[in-house]
Amino acid sequence: MSEPAFAVLLLLVLAWAVTSRLLARFNITGAIVLAVAGYVLANPSWGPLLVDVETPAVHLLAEVTLALLLFSDAARVNVSQLRRDVAFPARLLGIGLPLSIVLGSLLAALLFDDLSWGLAGFVGATLAPTDAALSAQVINDKRIPLRLRRALNVESGLNDGIATPIVVFMLAVAAMEVGTTGHGASASGGALVDLVLGVVVGIVVGAGSARMIAMASRRRWIIPGGRRVATLAAALASFAVAVALDSNGFIAAFVAGIAFGAALPEDVADVEEIGELPELVGEVMALGVWFLFGAALVPVALDHVSWSMLAYAFLSLTVVRMLPVAVALMGMGLDGRTVAFVGWFGPRGLASVVFAILAVEELGESEVIRQSIAIVALTVLLSVVAHGVSAGPLGRRYVESESEDEAVEAPRTRRLGPHDNPDGA
């Protein structure tokens, strides 16, 4: 990324930040603003700004952004609160996510004859994780039952980390199929070792840093604000150490976040407060990734758009997501409206974009690779618009419908008072 492009990006982030509440009234998210700006200002065909998605700096930005968000999301999971209703998010993650990956992969193989099984699996796995940030209005709307908001938030926070090893494996398979010789090709033989080593690094760095912060806080070795800085350093260190050891940095960051949240004593500080800095830095960097998405991936999607791609994108956001959710939530006593609500609010976002950028690095830019990246980019583009615009209205509609149902049911379930006659006399 050139210096002028970096300067414009920071000014755009500033402009969005100071108008974010105003734009939210019109259901315009930061992802929409930055993606549109990237497409208009840094489009390779006419944009005045220069952005090269193949440079190491761009790949590092994307990787570190995802690592920070994986750590932050995992660290924020409140295990004690989750135990009260663990079945809801557990079903979404344990049943819904694998079914979405399988269904999305099969659909890609069916609709696109040019895609190998490895690339079809990559597309399906890349588009399975959800991003709650794109429907933040739903997650933050306290009128919506806490159970639903917590399930959606936990699902989006954890499914990135769960899907990451599958994406990495499918990239390795695709690299062998297309004959590339990058990191992905070498990873095919040692994928399990990389995964295990990433888990070990995550546990050691996450739990160790939490214990260090606790000890330093109790002995008053740490200055005000130092705990936030230490947490940010722990998040970055988990990723950096794993990469230095040639293991999976994303898995390390994800596991480190879980270990950090579990090992940090409650008497030291609130996990959400300590994790504020890595989460904030990750959100700012995420806006930069959305700018790159608009500059580099959206043009690829629009250059390769076809009816089959549009069909896949539509089915990915509906059937591929909503059918597995319906299967996962069977037997939980939820009405159809609630199941449809949870199924729809599974937007595809930052993780899918980062995985697509990584695919460029791992697999090169042959026509079939560009086609698979275009499929991912087009689906994410439609999701950014559809879920961003619908979050507010559909959230309000769901609350109104639930209130109407409660008003209808209330007279039927009202307990008899002392002057009520059950026989009607």
Q: What is the pLDDT of residues 83-98, one digit of tens each?
A: 666 888 889 999 999 9
> How much is the pLDDT for 39?
93
pLDDT at 425 over 50: no
81: pLDDT strictly greater than 50: yes
For residue 420, tell me if it sits in a domain: no
Helical spans, DSSP H, in 94-145: 97-111, 117-126, 136-139
Whether the per-residue pLDDT at 197 is higher than 60: the answer is: yes
Question: Is residue 171 predicted with pLDDT exceeding 90?
Answer: no
- pLDDT higher than threshold 80 for residue 410: no
d(CA 87, CA 147): 11
Of 104, 96, 95, 110, whose CA–CA distance to 123 is shortest?
Answer: 104
Q: Is 366 left (phi over 0), alpha (psi -120 to 50) or beta?
A: beta
Tens-digit pLDDT profile for residues 275-329: 677 888 888 998 999 999 999 899 999 999 999 999 999 999 999 999 999 999 9
Closest by CA to 39, choosing from 304, 302, 357, is 302
Q: From 234, 255, 81, 237, select the one nearest 158 (Cα to Cα).
A: 255
The pLDDT score that the predictor gives to residue 424 is: 45
Residue at 239 is within a domain: yes
* pLDDT value, residue 12: 94
The mean pLDDT of 119-132, rounded to a whole number, is 91
Residue 185: band (very low, low, confident or very high) from pLDDT cuts 50, 70, 90: very low
Give the pLDDT score at 406: 61
Q: Mean pLDDT, to the nearest integer, of 153-171? A: 84
Q: Which of 161-175, 184-198, 278-292 has the lowest mean pLDDT?
A: 184-198
CATH code of residue 214: 1.20.1530.20
Residue 416 maps to a domain = no
Please give the Cα distance from 363 to 389 (Å, whole number): 34
Task: State the pTM of this model.
Answer: 0.84
Distance CA 161, CA 21 (A): 30
Q: Is the pLDDT of residue 180 over 70?
A: no
410 located within any domain: no
Q: Among 148-162, 266-280, 301-315, name the one with the lowest average pLDDT.
A: 266-280
**High-pLDDT (> 70) share of the chain, %:** 87
Report the 10 Å Cβ neighbour count for 123.
34
pLDDT in tens, 327-352: 999 988 888 889 999 999 888 888 89
The token pair at 100 is 């979405």
The whole-chain average pLDDT of the chain stands at 84
pLDDT single digits (tens) 350-359: 889 989 988 8
Q: Is residue 215 part of a domain?
A: yes
Residue 409 pLDDT > 70, yes or no? no
Q: Is residue 414 domain-resident? A: no
Q: Check residue 184 and give its pLDDT.
A: 45
The pLDDT of residue 8 is 92
Domain range holding 345?
3-403
Higher-confidence position of 217 and 77: 217
Q: Are 224 and 275 in contact (CB under 8 A)?
A: no
Give the per-residue pLDDT at 84.
67
With CA atoms as reference, report the closest residue to 249 among 123, 69, 125, 64. 64
Is there a domain that residue 411 lies in? no
- Contact present, 23 and 16 (Cβ < 8 Å): yes
CA distance 16 to 22: 10
Does residue 266 or residue 282 have the better pLDDT? 282
pLDDT at residue 272 in the model: 53
Q: Tally the domains of the chain.
A: 1
CA distance 36 to 384: 11
Q: What is the pLDDT of residue 86?
A: 80
Higher pLDDT, 256 or 416: 256
Asked if the structure places residue 418 within a domain, the reply is: no
* Residue 191 pLDDT class (50, 70, 90 cuts): low
**Among 326, 366, 282, CA closest to 62:** 282
Across 26-48, average pLDDT: 88
Residue 101: closest CA among 125, 118, 126, 123:
125
Give me the count of residues in the chain: 425
